[in-house]
Structure 1
Amino acid sequence: MSAPPISDLNDRARDVFRVVVESYLDTGSPIGSRTIAQLSGLNLSPASIRNVMQDLEELGLLAAPHTSAGRMPTEIGLRLFVDGMMHALEPSAEERAAIESRVSQVGPVEEALAATTAALSGLSACAGLVMVPKRELVLRQMSFVPLSADKALAVLVSEDGAVENRVVDLPMGVSPSALVEAGNYMTAMLSGMTLTQARTRIEREIGEERALLDSVARTLIERGLAVWSEDSDRRPVLIVRGQGRLIDAAAAADLERIGTLLDDLEGKQEIAHLLDSASAGDATRIFIGAENKLFSLSGSSVIAKPFRGLDGRVVGVVGVIGPTRLNYARVVPMVDFTAATLARLMS
């Protein structure tokens, strides 16, 4: 069932509907006609409000979780509100500064992305998400440091200055000079290449017997590139921060739903697919509850926005996940601003 056009609602229905939705987004609880009459300033009697709420319920926009508990918006109602009635609230100067300060920090891009996602999580009171494409390391220097008779540390320095280490198995009887030779060869021949490019180059050189290496050095290089390439393939493309913020006072009453949501967040590949679907076009995508099968059980919403690099291509998607009652008017512009900030980082 889809939401009716906002034009189908008369002014009275819109006013009552807005009060119900805004109350729910603020408290997470249904609201009754008597409370609306007392607090809303609509100048309507409880009976009139009940009649309007009944009409809205028949349209599928409101629901009564219990017989006498008042009304709350359905997911269809939330969609109508977000698309047709919401007034966006731009991030404050302090919120913008908090996000921008994380992007400008010195260090690898992944650290800036993680820090920015954490800032977005804190400001939105949701879990922050950012997805970036797999980014292969580009070699600057590589060396082997002996650890024992059969183990060595493969030390890789990438072009962005990051240093990472991995343990590799050594061929039997390897000498210290072979370790030096293998490291020197990789630095001289493969600097400036991605791991995939380096592996292809080595395989071709060795296959055509053009590499001036003994068999031990060849084995070392092959194993070193293999462990690094395997690690690169496993690099996460999704960063999630602030899962703990999903467990608030309102959520404590529905621990089963929160448990389901946290389980969903563990399945990063599925969330990556969801965010990837948001990368087409420039618009902010809002997925509310069962609109996406992944979060149909947990009743969660995702707000996601792609960001682009200097060449105009989409290089990632940033967003948040939270309960369906999150503050869309505040969070949507915040996600938009974060995406624009990350675009500058990636340019």
Structure 2
Amino acid sequence: MTSGPITEMTTRAQDIFRIVVESYIDNGAPVGSRTISKAPGLELSPASIRNVMQDLEEFGLLAAPHTSAGRIPTELGLRLFVDGMMQAAEPSQEERDAIESQITESGPIEDALAATTMILSGLSACAGLVLVPKREPVLKQFSFIKLSEGQGLAILVSQAGGVENRVLDLPIGISESALVEASNYLTAQFGGMTLSQALGRLDNEIQAGRLAIDKASEDLVKRGFATWTQDPTERPVLIVRGQANLLEDSALADLDRVRQLLDELEGKQEISRLLDNARDAEAAKIFIGAENKLFSLSGSSVIAAPYKDGDGQVVGVVGVIGPTRLNYARVVPMVDFTAQSLSRFLK
């Protein structure tokens, strides 16, 4: 049953499994056979229901907490439900309006993304997440300064007025004139370009043998660019909003899990890597509990969807994180709609 399609389950098993999952998602409590027997249209005795639940447990889809005779879905069961049985509910017009109202043309895009993440957090009762693409600076001036024998400083001034410094290794014995030549060449040839544009042009110039500088200066130019392309701070920025939603009353019964999740949210670099896995998805991607090693301890779920710029290129990911029992049928379409709205705004 776990490896085959949902259709391999009997109709009776599907009905009982659906009731357990939906009830658990709704209130977080284990579901017993007596409760299920009262469901309209089921017409099964508690004993028959217990037999089916036992079968589902043996297949790894349900589990029995030691404190209760009821059952809850396992992470495997939740995955089966989400992929094969869930009936998604499109966001209401009120929810759509609330999301789109945060995506305006006034102010930096980062402000709109942060506001959108906050409203998504409120609507989903989860913590909202968004990966913001770090905009490449447009070069205005590039300079090299010798700090010591074998070590120097690369200084980039952007057209927006920003100044960034990077320490780099210098070829032993390089002259001050080579530093000046490399600085002037970079500024003259690549001013007005982004780093990626400048790197592309530099590669073309090297391959075509058109660099009008000596070998020492050429090596310095390549080293200077490498200090930025290898810089870990160039990773996208992660915005997290609504962590307080993770401290809802029902979650307080499992404080260890909540504390673990909050600790995981502090590791923004790891969360960024997780969200990056959703970049190639056509729609919202769902990570349930231990399916991702990051959340193997807290047992949390992430729903994330990519958003694109005007050229149709994926530039970021938006999503939510919450307990595994979150309302997937409602939240998945909400995350999808938010990503689509951001894509429309960026066109």
| TM-score higher than 0.5 | yes
Supply the AA of the counterpart residue of 1:273. R
Partner of 1:78: 78
Other-structure match for 2:345: 345
The question of 1:240 aligning with 2:234 is answered no
Q: Is the 8 A contact 2:19 2:36 kept in 1?
A: yes
Paired residue secondary structure (1:320):
strand
The aligned runs of 1:265-304 (5 Å cut-off) are 265-304=265-304
* Deviation, structure 1 residue 239: 2.9
TM-score, scaled to structure 1: 0.74
Unaligned stretches of 5+ residues in structure 1: 143-154, 167-186, 208-228
Q: Report the counterpart of residue 96 of structure 2 in structure 1.
A: 96
- Superposed displacement of residue 3, structure 1: 4.8
Kindly state the Cα deviation for residue 125 of structure 1 after the two structures are TM-superposed. 0.7
* Equivalent residue number for residue 322 of structure 1: 322
Name the structure 1 match of 2:130: 130
Structure 1 residues 116-125 or 233-242, which shifts more? Answer: 233-242
AA aligned opposite 1:128:
G
Spell out the pairing of 1:29-40 with structure 2 (5 A cutoff). 29-40=29-40
SS in 2 for 1:102: coil
In the TM superposition, residue 320 of structure 1 has moved relative to its aligned partner by 0.8
Structure 2 residue matching 1:129: 3-state secondary structure: strand
Measured in 2, the distance between the counterparts of 1:345 and 1:287 equals: 27
Q: Could you tell me how far apart the structure 2 residues matched to 1:303 and 1:254 are?
A: 22
CA distance in 2, matches of 1:78, 1:3: 14
- C-alpha contact 1:132 1:238 (8 A) present in aligned 2: yes
Contact 1:127 1:240 (C-alpha < 8 Å) held by counterparts: no
Helix, strand or coil at the partner of 2:304: strand
Work out the CA distance in 2 between the residues paired with 1:249 and 1:7: 37
Deviation at 1:118, TM superposition (A): 1.1
Q: Answer yes or no: is the 8 Å Cα contact 1:247–1:258 preserved in 2.
A: yes
Separation in 2 of the partners of 1:190 and 1:112? 31
DSSP 3-state at the match of 1:316: strand
1:50-76 Cα shifts (integer Å, max 9, x gaps): 111111111111010126430010001
Helix, strand or coil at the partner of 1:307 = strand
Q: Quick check: 1:19–1:40 contact (8 Å CA) kept in 2?
A: no
The whole-number CA distance in structure 2 between the counterparts of 1:114 and 1:235 is 19
- Aligned-residue sequence identity (percent) comes to 64
Q: Secondary structure at the match of 1:103?
A: coil
TM-score, normalised with respect to structure 2: 0.74
**In 1, Cα distance between equivalents of 2:240 and 2:6:** 36
Distance in 2 between residues matched to 1:114 and 1:156, nearest whole Å: 25
What secondary structure does 1:234 align onto?
Answer: helix
Letter in 1 for 2:55: D
| C-alpha distance in structure 1 between counterparts of 2:312 and 2:198, whole Å | 28
Structure-2 separation of matches of 1:107 and 1:191: 27
Cα deviation code 1:119-138 (max 9, x no counterpart): 11111111111113321234
TM-superposed deviation, 1:266 = 0.9
The aligned amino acid for 1:23 is: S
Q: How many residues align?
A: 295
RMSD: 3.4
Q: Decide whether aligned partners of structure 1 residues 51 and 196 sit closer, same or farther in structure 2, where only a CA change above 3 A counts.
A: closer
Letter in structure 1 aligned against 2:258 = I
Contact kept in structure 2, 1:102 and 1:116, CA below 8 Å: yes
Give SS of 1:134's match: coil
> For the residues of structure 1 that align with 2:344 and 2:73, how far apart are their CA atoms?
38
Distance 1:233 1:138 in 2: 19
CA distance in 1, matches of 2:324, 2:288: 6
- The 1:239–1:71 alpha-carbon spacing in structure 2 relative to 1, beyond 3 Å, is same
Give secondary structure in 2 for the equivalent of 1:240. Answer: strand
The answer as to 2:257 corresponding to 1:257 is yes
Matched position secondary structure for 1:290 = helix
In the TM superposition, 1:116-195 aligns within 5 A as 116-138=116-138, 158=160, 192-194=192-194
Which secondary structure state, in structure 2, belongs to the residue aligned with residue 322 of structure 1?
A: strand
2:21 aligned counterpart, secondary structure? helix
Deviation for aligned residue 1:111: 1.0
Whole-Å separation in 1 of the counterparts to 2:118 and 2:162: 24
Moved more, 75-84 or 109-118: 109-118
Describe the superposition over 1:169-219 as per-residue Cα deviations: whole angstroms up to 9, x where unpaired: xxxxxxxxxxxxxxxxxx999974447889999xx99x9xxxxxxxxxxxx
Corresponding residue of 1:150: none
Distance 1:129 1:11 in 2: 38
Check the 8 A contact 2:247/2:258 in 1, yes or no.
Answer: yes
**Is 1:308 paired with 2:308?**
yes
Q: Give the C-alpha shift of residue 241 in structure 1.
A: 2.9
